[in-house]
Amino acid sequence: MKIALNGASGYTGRLTVAELARRGIEAVLVGRDPGRLRAAAAGTGFEVRIADIGDQAALEAAFAGADAVVNTAGPFAPLGAPVVRAAIAAGAHYVDTTGEQHYINDVFNTFAGAADDAGVTVVPAMADDGGPSDFISHLVGEAAGAVDGLTVALWYRGGGFSRGTLRSLDPDMLFDGALRYESGAWTTYGEASHATWRFPGAGAPVGVSKAALPPVATVPRHVPVARMEGLLGGSFETLDGFDPATIDSMPEGPDEEQRRQGRWTISVEASGQGGRTVRGEVEGADGYGKTAVIAVEAARRLVTDGAKAGVLAPSQAFDPESFMNFLSGHGVRWRVTEG
């Protein structure tokens, strides 16, 4: 098995390099900066291949011979499509770590036919926010049966953000541009259904805002749900002050101790027929470290276990319970309850 890692010299990319090395998976590190790539590869024995995002032929050549491509280089809206296209052309499965809701829908709309024709599987949103929230939503929906409404709430506290994440977090798109799934389509909308949310372990209800969360773009593709929306817990007003120059002056990302201190919680609630309510919860630490684990495991499963060709949501490509049980071995706690 050989996995090509695009964006290997970035913050999440280097964590993914470490995870590939830890698991003994052969890898090719791809990017545009030879010096940074060689530094990322130091001590791993991984091959380095240079390819700029604007050179499609070079990207395809960099992915040649790889069984799968993991893409950690965001922001994905401007940078992701050429990587997906090159992976498909190289005959490699594709996984990325995007959390960008509109981009995820674009991947489904743009590449489904090409991936199917090439016999490869494309799975966006395999990160700490996208993969687990899709899996737990599927399990909740499965328990609820026909779902009238499904709400996913995400709460980060501590840990901080990487520069790459901050570059991807356009406040207008994250909040005002959030999509809700309703009547068989994704649309923007006005007020959120909740102003507060009771997260597990919280001493009091947490203030929430409507938000463009990844599972709203993926879950309706495999859960028969009439309506779905996403909520983000906590206060994010400070994002408006993060202009490009400010972001460039910040540390590249949280250090190891800060990552360990960072906590994330996903809370899902589905209302079924007859007033039946099913809830799901996922809790973990070190979101960036977990993202590397999730992306590598997803690529490994695509290569070793296979999946239907085309663009798939996480729960369409992988067994949700099996993947969540795998994450339990990495300190992630999850449960589904009724009532």
pTM over the 0.85 mark? yes
Closest CA to 44 of 9, 92, 73, 81: 9
Cis-peptide, bond into residue 75, ω within 30° of zero? yes
Burial of 191 (C-beta count, 10 Å sphere; 0-12/13-18/19+): exposed
pLDDT interval class at 198 (50, 70, 90): very high
pLDDT at 103: 97
pLDDT interval class at 250 (50, 70, 90): low
pLDDT at 299: 98
pLDDT at 173: 75
pLDDT at 14: 97
Kindly report, residue by residue over 208-221, the tens digit of the pLDDT.
999 999 999 999 99
At residue 274, does pLDDT exceed 90?
no
Mean pLDDT score, 191-202 = 94
At residue 284, does pLDDT exceed 90?
yes
pLDDT interval class at 239 (50, 70, 90): low
Closest CA to 233 of 291, 153, 312: 153
At residue 121, does pLDDT exceed 70?
yes
Mean pLDDT score, 285-305 = 97
pLDDT at 182: 96
Q: What is the share, in percent, of the chain residues with pLDDT greater than 70?
A: 93
Domains, the chain, with CATH or none = 2-127+291-319 (3.40.50.720), 131-287+322-338 (3.30.360.10)
pLDDT interval class at 168 (50, 70, 90): low
Which has the minimum average pLDDT: 63-67, 146-150, 274-278?
Answer: 274-278
At residue 166, does pLDDT exceed 90?
no
Q: Which residues pair with 49 in a beta bridge?
A: 30
pLDDT at 95: 98
At residue 170, does pLDDT exceed 80?
no
At residue 272, does pLDDT exceed 90?
no
pLDDT at 254: 81
Pairwise pLDDT comparison (74 vs 172), residue with the higher score:
74
pLDDT at 22: 98
At residue 205, does pLDDT exceed 80?
yes
